[in-house]
Amino acid sequence: MVAGLACAPAAHAELYGFVDADGIAHFADRKLDERYKLFMREGGSFDTSRESSAAPESDLEQHKLYRYVVNHPNIAKVEPMIRQIADKQDVDPALVKAVMAVESGFNPSAVSPKGAIGLMQVIPDTGARFGVSGDARRSVEEKLADPRTNISAGVRYLRWLTELFPDNIELVLAAYNAGEGAVQRYNNRIPPYPETQQYVSTVLQFYRLYKPGGGAVVTRTSAAAGGPSRVKMVIGGRRTMP
């Protein structure tokens, strides 16, 4: 396993979230407004406290968020591909999964307003840099809509960033979000962009969650128990890769 990705550093943030009336999951590293409830405490443990007397409502919200991040039905579909591709590139599969959760919410059809495509939200220029080329039958954009191609391009980019910023997972994630040029312009530090800072801390919390023994016991049975069928990750102001 690549040295900087073997384990995440302590995340200096908690994770807040809520599921709105349309079944869209929103997560942030701080309480952006009153809808956001504490989901994961700093250090990776799930919150079991209740901030008000409305315990049943809080329990339901906690259950919906937990089901989303641990038992989203699409996780089972893409996890074999994640493991195969990540292992080949020597990138931690749990990190890929965490990036995917924040980038697309496991939605293979996700397309951002800036043209980022698919599970790993890869833009065509980045896809072309990392092995995706158009041909007479399909364009780069069409190829990136394929989950395996999309994951492969995103993981290759993560691997390349790992070599560019060795032993520094925070810079790898900042570069995935804001571009390696932005990180380099700020002397190899996380750029002072609130969205990028939030992105890094949120992905690290998901990375902690998805690592073996990270605080969640995955049960496939509850994935079929119902719940929001239209869910996606929203962390506010998502910026695409360069």
Residues marked active site are found at 103
The CB density around residue 102, as the number of other CB atoms within 10 Å, is 25
* Amino acid (one-letter) located at 104: S
Q: Which two three-digit tokens encode residue 223?
A: 């994935």
* Cα–Cα distance, 50 to 89 (Å, whole number): 42
Backbone angles phi, psi at 16, to 5 degrees: -115, 155
Which neighbouring-strand residues pair with 117?
111, 122
* Cα–Cα distance, 56 to 191 (Å, whole number): 40
Longest dimension (CA), the chain: 62
Q: Residue 131 carries which DSSP code?
A: T
Q: What is the 3-state secondary structure (H, E, C) of 110-123?
A: CECCCCCECCCCEC
Distance of CA 144 to the CA centre of its chain: 18
Q: Which residue in the block uniquely carries the two structure tokens 């396993």?
A: 1
